[in-house]
Every structure is written in C-alpha cells, then in structure tokens.
C-alpha cells in the first residue's frame, strides 16, 4: 500500500509542476508588467525598478520560474490589478464557499443517484428502468445554467420561496441553509444522472455474480440480497467513477456560482478573466487545478484502500 | 460446382439502432437541426442582428415565433443562426481534438515503444477538466470562440486517444495484421488501410456522445462570457443575455437553453443507441 501510495503521489508532482509552469507562462504572455502592477498606479520609475529587481524580473526565464516557485511556496501569488488585494487572501476567502457548495450538492445527489441506479438495475428492462434512465439521460443533457435560471425564475421569483443571490452564512445557520438550497439543487441536479447510470451498470454486473446467487439460494430476502450483497460490492466502482466525475462537477460549480452570485473560486476566476485581472486569474486557475489533482489523488488512494487488487497489480 | 449457402444476414447497425424509437426520433431531429443550421439564411424570416426598439421583449407570437430579445431582435432567426454557430463550435473542436487524439492512439498501439510515453502524456491532459482549459485559454488569449474551440479540442485529445488505442490494440493482435506485415506492407499504409477501418465503431460512438458534451461545455463557456462574444448569435451567449430580463421576459433565456438541451439530448440518445447497436455485449 505504501509503495502504491508513494508512486501515485510521485506521479502527481510533474502534473502539478506543469500547472505552475502554465500559470507562470500565463503571466509572461499577458501584456502587463507585474512590477508596475505591484508598485501601484502612482509609483515612480525608481520604485518600479526596485520591485523589478526584488521579483527577479531582470534574470533569465528559468531563474524567474525559480523565484516564482519560491514566492508561491511562501503563499505569495501577487496582487489583484483591480482592487490591489493579495491574491492569496481573496483565494482563501473563496475556497470555503466553493467546497460548501460542492458538499451541499453531493450530499443529496449521490444518495439519490445511487438509489435510482439500484432501482433501475433491479427492475432492468422494465418501465421503471426506462423512466429512470430517460431522466438520467435528460439530466446529463441539460445545461447547468438552464436548470439554475429555471429555479431562480420559478422558486426564487415567482413563488418567492428561497433566496437566490449570494451566500447566507455558514451551513449550520438557517440563513446559510436557505441560501445554499437553490445552488445545491442546480449543481447536484446535473450530477444525479451520471451517478444513477454508473450505479445501474455496476449493480447489474453484481446481480448476475455468483455470490449474489448464493445469497439468494440460502434464502435471504430480496431486499437484503440487493442491499448487502449487490449494492455494497457495486459501491467500489461507483465511488471511483464519482471521483472521476469531480471535474464535471467543477465545471458546473463555475457556472452555478456565477448565476447565483455565490462567492466561490469559480466566480472569482470568471470575473478575473473577464476583467483581465491576470494575477487573480492565474491564482484561481492554479488553485482549481491543484484542488482537482488532489481530489483525483485522494480518490485513487481511496480506491486502493477499498480494493486490494488495485495496489497489488 | 460449388453451392454457396446464404448466411443469415446480420441486420445492419443502422437498422438495429432504428428499432429504438428514441434513437429514430433523435436521428431525424439531428438531421433536421443540421439542415436548419445550414439553411439558416434561407429559413430565417428576419435578420438575426437587426434590432427593433419598437418591438423589444415580445413574447412568442404569429409574427415572432420565438418572440424577440431585449433589443428587439427576432429570436427565431437568432436561434437558427445560433444553432449554426453552436454546431460549428462543437464539430470544429471534435474534429481537431478527435483527429489529433486518433493519431496519438494509433501511434501508441502500433509502435509499442511510444506507448508508455504517449499514454502518460494523455494521462496528464486527462487530469484536467475541460472547464479549466476553457478558463486558462480565455485568460491567455482572451475570451472568444477560438479560445473555446482550442480548449475543447485539447480536452478531447486524451479521451479519443484512449478509445482509439484500446480498439487498435485488440485489432493489432489479429492474424491479418501479421499477414499484412509479413508481405512487407508499409506502416502508414497498414495503419490507414487495415488498422483504422476496423476501429471505426468505437470511434463513431465516442464522437457522437462527445459532440453532445462538447456543445454543453462550449455553450456553458459562452454563457459565462468566455466564448462567443455579443452580438454573435450563439445559444449559450443568448441565454446569458436573457438573464437580465429573466423576470420580465423569461423566454429570452429559456428558448436558447431549450435548444441546447434538445440538441445535446439528441446526440446523447443517438450515441447510446449507436453503442448498443454496434456492441451487442452491452445490451443487458
């Protein structure tokens, strides 16, 4: 296990370096001078030159990359062009809400997807199966923004049931819960379909497996056979596949945050790109990529824990 | 004299697919929207860019089938042109990313020495979701349709490479490839004439399903303002413009969104049916 984990972690390192390299080049190709940005609009030429020296901008490119990595390690990603705030400060303010939104979305969509997928697998070929699969194909085909706009228009505006702009506070407060419902329904809504499909395939495989036949033969109730013997074993591939779909969720999160003015990293990223705030854009892209790499790493390790065949192969 | 026994003809994949009502409807729908997109200039009753400030935010009516938007532009005309832009965006990314990915996949399967290196590179590309390529390219080159097409192409490369490699490795093990090699056939010819044609079904299935995904992603990027820029009639951008009028005239956002939904749904249903028809093992 330790060897597998080590190998997997080592594989993530070049990818992470690649991300940083791309982030670094982003700042090279854009038409702004980081020293000028850092110095602020009223700075004299001497100040700019001093900053240029301090940032190592007069050195060759490879040395600059070294400087860049060093500053990054110290949590320095530069300052925003727009409001002069430290990029790392803004990032640390927005990561929490993004994780909160993702958690709230997965909290209801994964159990629902697994439940629907199991039902469809058990009654495969029946009307129930066809209905569930039709809904799930519909779910993977619907644009996230469409779902979000419909909810805002109907639930938020017409029926006035729930707030639809911004975050209401921490999730353990009533306001916080109210505010997260519509964004979480939107983001989770596009996730139910894929989870249901993956679960159905995995459970169908399991239902024809030998150990399930044995469980039936020894007279267990159908409910227990499905729950304890088919679904439980099917969960391993399902969890992995869900992990691999996190990228899909991330894309949805960027859109959902923008529609609902949710103060997360995705909305920050889009705003930074649209306003040509390059240091901020670079910071958000690095954080989103690194987060995604870490999630993938976590899923792989979890998979190895759950399924011994992975780490032995 | 030899008597040939007529083998029972296997029904063609197309015919098997069309037994599924959903797939048949989807196929007809896809053909119709492609035709609608191509002939948009002839079908559109009005100019999609002509504003009419006397007729803004009109609901759907006999004169304006889909109503008008915030600047009084005819939404039916804009939706037709929007289909054109959206389908072009999807097809362009699919073709660019698909061709590069297929070349990588064939090379990896054919030259085993390249396999490890190429597929590790693909793994690295695969470790980023498409939305991140979209954000990064929009940050570097500025928002626009070209950035979106590039981003979606890059995101498609590793997926296609994996599909093609998987299919090609199986075919590589077959006797006739060995035979072709034995008679001294050139690599390029062998790959193009004998290897590629036998890998087409998974490629086709993947391409159909991917087209739906690419359209969904591309329109989401346009919705965020990172793709097609106003006033270009692109379905995602149109839905985004309608946001400002959501509470007064929801149809401005809803109509282009429904159009995207139906197009993507059609490609998804078609792709699923195609997979079932081409690979009977998957039918349960």
Give me the long-range contacts of A96-100 (CB less than 8 A, separation at least 24): A97/A167, A97/A257, A97/A262, A97/A263, A97/A264, A98/A253, A98/A257, A98/A262, A98/A264, A98/A265, A98/A266, A100/A167, A100/A171, A100/A180
In Å, how far from its chain's centre is CA A205?
29
Nearest beta carbon to residue A137 from set B132, B265, B284: B265
Summarised one tens digit per residue, pLDDT across range B199-258 is 888 899 999 999 999 999 999 999 999 999 988 999 999 999 999 899 999 999 999 999
Residue B148 has pLDDT above 90, yes or no: yes
Q: Which residues contact B282 (CB under 8 A, 6 or more apart)?
A: B275, B276
pLDDT at B280: 57
Q: How does residue A31 score in pLDDT terms, banded at 50, 70 and 90?
A: low
pLDDT at B240: 94
Nearest Cα of chain B lies from the Cα of A145 at a distance, in angstroms, of 7
Q: In this structure, what is the dihedral angle of CA atoms A277, A278, A284, A287, given to the nearest 10 degrees?
A: -160
Residue B153 has pLDDT above 70, yes or no: yes
Q: In this structure, are A21 and A97 located in the same domain?
A: no
Residue B81 has pLDDT above 90, yes or no: yes
Q: Which residues contact B152 (CB under 8 A, 6 or more apart)?
A: B89, B90, B93, B94, B97, B130, B133, B134, B214, B217, B218
Range with lowest mean pLDDT among A115-129, A296-310, B32-46, B168-182: A296-310
Q: How many Cβ contacts (< 8 angstroms) between chains A and B?
A: 123
CB < 8 Å to A207, chain B: none
- First-last CA distance in chain B: 44
Q: In this structure, are A184 and A240 located in the same domain?
A: yes
Distance CA B240, CA A20 (A): 32
pLDDT at A32: 67
pLDDT at B256: 96
C-beta atoms of B268 and A18 within 8 A: no
Decide: A282 and A288 in contact? Cβ < 8 Å: no
Decide: B55 and B66 in contact? Cβ < 8 Å: no
CB < 8 Å to B162, chain A: none
Range B142-162 burial, b when 16+ CB lie within 10 A, else e: ebbbebbbbbbbbbbbbbbbb
Q: What percent of chain A has pLDDT over 90?
A: 37
pLDDT at B11: 65
CB < 8 Å to A254, chain B: 131, 135, 224
Tell whether A87 is covered by a domain. Answer: no
Tell whether A250 is covered by a domain. Answer: yes
Residue B82 has pLDDT above 60, yes or no: yes
CATH for A171: 1.10.3720.10
pLDDT at B118: 92
Summarised one tens digit per residue, pLDDT across range A127-141 is 999 999 999 999 999
Q: What is the mean pLDDT of chain A?
A: 86
CB < 8 Å to B22, chain A: 134
pTM of this structure: 0.90
Range with lowest mean pLDDT among A262-266, B52-56, B194-198: B52-56
pLDDT at B284: 41
pLDDT at B4: 52
Residue B265 has pLDDT above 70, yes or no: yes
Tell whether B86 is covered by a domain. Answer: yes
Nearest beta carbon to residue A145 from set B129, B131, B257: B257
Q: In this structure, are A109 and A187 located in the same domain?
A: yes
Decide: B87 and B267 in contact? Cβ < 8 Å: no
Q: In this structure, are A52 and A200 located in the same domain?
A: no
3-state SS of B229-252 is CCCCCCHHHHHHHHHHHCCCCCHH
Quote the Cα angle for A201-A204-A209, to 5°: 130
In Å, how far from its chain's centre is CA A195?
15
Tell whether B159 is covered by a domain. Answer: yes
Q: Which residues contact B14 (CB under 8 A, 6 or more apart)?
A: B277
**Higher pLDDT, residue B283 or B213:** B213
What sign for the dihedral angle of Cα B232, B236, B237, B243?
positive
Chain B interface, mutation test: which of A8, A133, A141, A147, most B Cβ atoms within 10 Å?
A141
Summarised one tens digit per residue, pLDDT across range A96-122 is 999 999 999 999 999 999 999 999 999
Nearest Cα of chain B lies from the Cα of A279 at a distance, in angstroms, of 10
Tell whether B68 is covered by a domain. Answer: no
Nearest CA in chain A to B249: A153
| Residue B35, CA atoms < 13 Å, CB-side half-sphere | 6
Tell whether A271 is covered by a domain. Answer: yes
Tell whether A312 is covered by a domain. Answer: no
User: Whole domain around residue B124: which residue ranges?
Assistant: 13-39+74-278
Nearest beta carbon to residue B143 from set A25, A146, A273: A273
Burial class of residue B263 in the structure, from the number of CB atoms within 10 Å of its CB (0-12 exposed, 13-18 middle, 19+ buried): buried
User: Whole domain around residue A211: which residue ranges?
Assistant: 92-307
Query: Dihedrals φ, ψ of B68, to 5°?
Result: -125, 165
CB < 8 Å to B253, chain A: 149
Tell whether A81 is covered by a domain. Answer: no
Q: How does residue B142 score in pLDDT terms, banded at 50, 70 and 90?
A: confident
Summarised one tens digit per residue, pLDDT across range A250-307 is 889 999 999 999 999 999 999 999 988 888 998 999 999 888 888 888 888 887 777 7
Tell whether A113 is covered by a domain. Answer: yes
Q: In this structure, are A141 and A51 located in the same domain?
A: no
pLDDT at B283: 46
**Higher pLDDT, residue B129 or A27:** B129
Nearest beta carbon to residue A285 from set B127, B139, B225: B139
Tell whether A80 is covered by a domain. Answer: no
Burial class of residue A291 in the structure, from the number of CB atoms within 10 Å of its CB (0-12 exposed, 13-18 middle, 19+ buried): middle
CB < 8 Å to B257, chain A: 143, 145-146, 149
Tell whether A78 is covered by a domain. Answer: no
Nearest Cα of chain B lies from the Cα of A286 at a distance, in angstroms, of 10
Domain tally, chain A: 2
Residue B1 has pLDDT above 50, yes or no: no
pLDDT at B156: 96
Domain tally, chain B: 1
């Amino acid at each position: 296990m330790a060897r597998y984990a080590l190998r997997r972690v080592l594989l993530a390192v070049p990818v992470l370096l690649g991300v940083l390299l791309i982030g670094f080049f982003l700042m090279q190709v854009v038409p702004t001078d980081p020293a000028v940005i850092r110095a602020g609009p009223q700075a004299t030429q001497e100040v700019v030159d001093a900053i240029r020296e301090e940032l190592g901008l007069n050195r060759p490119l490879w040395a600059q990359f070294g400087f860049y990595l060093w500053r990054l390690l110290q949590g320095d990603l530069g300052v925003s062009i727009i409001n002069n705030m430290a990029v790392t400060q803004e990032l640390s303010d927005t990561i929490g809400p993004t994780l909160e939104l993702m958690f709230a979305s997965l909290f209801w969509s994964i159990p629902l997807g697994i439940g629907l997928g199991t039902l469809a697998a058990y009654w495969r070929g029946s009307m129930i199966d066809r209905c569930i699969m039709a809904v799930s194909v519909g779910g993977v085909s619907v644009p996230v923004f469409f779902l979000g706009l419909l909810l805002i228009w109907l639930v938020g505006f017409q029926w006035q049931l729930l707030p639809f702009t911004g975050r209401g506070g921490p999730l353990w407060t009533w306001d916080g819960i109210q505010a997260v419902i519509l964004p979480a329904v939107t983001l989770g809504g596009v996730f139910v379909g894929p989870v249901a499909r993956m679960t159905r395939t995995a459970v169908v495989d399991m239902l024809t497996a030998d150990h399930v036949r044995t469980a039936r033969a020894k007279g267990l109730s159908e409910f227990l056979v499905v729950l304890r013997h088919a679904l439980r074993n099917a969960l391993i591939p399902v969890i992995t596949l869900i992990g691999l779909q996190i990228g899909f969720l991330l894309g949805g999160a960027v859109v959902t945050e923008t529609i609902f003015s949710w103060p997360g990293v995705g909305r920050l990223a889009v705003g930074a790109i649209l306003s040509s705030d390059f240091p901020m854009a670079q910071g958000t892209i690095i954080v989103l990529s690194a987060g995604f790499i870490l999630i993938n790493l976590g899923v792989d390790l979890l998979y190895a824990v759950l399924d011994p065949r992975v780490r032995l192969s | 004299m030899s008597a040939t026994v007529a083998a029972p003809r296997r029904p063609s994949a197309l015919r098997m697919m069309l037994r599924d009502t959903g797939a048949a409807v989807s196929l007809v729908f896809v053909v119709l929207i492609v035709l609608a997109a191509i002939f948009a200039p002839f079908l559109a009753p009005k100019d999609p860019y002509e504003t009419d400030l006397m007729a803004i935010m009109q609901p759907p009516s006999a004169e304006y089938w889909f109503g008008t938007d915030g600047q009084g532009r005819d939404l039916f005309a804009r939706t037709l042109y929007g289909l054109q832009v959206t389908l072009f965006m999807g097809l362009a990314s699919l073709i660019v990313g698909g061709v590069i990915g297929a070349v990588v996949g064939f090379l990896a399967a054919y030259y085993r020495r390249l396999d490890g290196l190429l597929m590790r590179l693909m793994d690295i590309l695969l470790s980023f979701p498409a939305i991140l390529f979209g954000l990064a390219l929009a940050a570097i080159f500025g928002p626009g349709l070209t950035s979106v097409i590039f981003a979606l192409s890059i995101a498609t490369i590793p997926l296609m490479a994996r599909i093609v490699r998987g299919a090609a490795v199986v075919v590589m093990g077959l006797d006739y490839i060995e035979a072709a090699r034995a008679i001294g056939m050139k690599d390029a010819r062998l790959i193009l004439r004998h290897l590629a044609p036998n890998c087409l079904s998974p490629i086709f299935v993947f391409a159909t399903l991917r087209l739906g995904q690419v359209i969904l992603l591309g329109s989401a990027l346009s919705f965020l303002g990172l793709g097609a820029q106003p006033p270009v009639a692109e379905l995602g951008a149109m839905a985004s413009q309608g946001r400002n009028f959501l509470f007064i005239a929801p149809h401005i956002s809803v109509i282009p969104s429904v159009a995207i939904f139906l197009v993507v749904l059609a490609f998804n249903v078609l792709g699923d049916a195609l997979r079932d028809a081409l690979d009977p093992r998957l039918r349960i």
